[in-house]
Amino acid sequence: MKKLILFLIPWLYLGLWGCNSDEPETATATGLLIVHLQQDDNPDVDFSDYAVAIIPKSGFIPSAPMKDIEWPVEVYAGTYTIAAASPMVAETETTESWYYGEVKNVRISQDQTTEVTISLTLTDYPKQD
């Protein structure tokens, strides 16, 4: 019986360790993010209705208009794609046009402020049915 117990102890330990490693880690470290937009080197563009999305490597944070965001934004430390888009600029039978831009692999570090400038270009997208 003693041999059986000694044989089972390492397996129980591995089982408990395996269960513990399946639990998601909770990120608590945060940094600050400031996003600047530029379009066609035109300094007179009103970006207040342009939407900005902060996209983590897994998951998604909904976009919000620039006018509704107080910069800097506090986000969890990690790597993000930051995207921005204008309201629709033009429409044809088959396409819709927006100014759009994104910056990938933006690293937010703990207790640091990261500034990103997104260059927006006019982009045509097929209409969704």
Please give the pLDDT value at position 58.
75
Residue 76 per-residue DSSP state: E
Question: Residue 5 domain-assigned?
Answer: no
Domain range for 41 is 26-126
The pLDDT assigned to 23 comes to 41
19 in a domain, yes or no?
Answer: no
Residues in the chain: 129
For residue 120, give the CATH number of its domain: 2.60.40.2100
- Give the chain's domain count: 1
CA torsion sign for 33, 44, 99, 86 is positive
Reference 35, options 68, 66, 80; nearest CA is 66
pLDDT at position 111, please? 95
Q: How many Å apart are CA 98 and CA 84, to the nearest integer? A: 10
83 within some domain: yes
Q: Mind listing the pLDDT tens digit of every residue in the chain (129 residues)?
A: 444 343 444 444 444 444 444 444 456 899 999 999 999 878 899 999 999 999 998 776 778 898 999 999 999 999 999 999 999 898 888 899 999 999 999 999 999 999 999 999 998 888 886
Residue 21 token pair: 């490693």
- What is the per-residue pLDDT for 57? 82
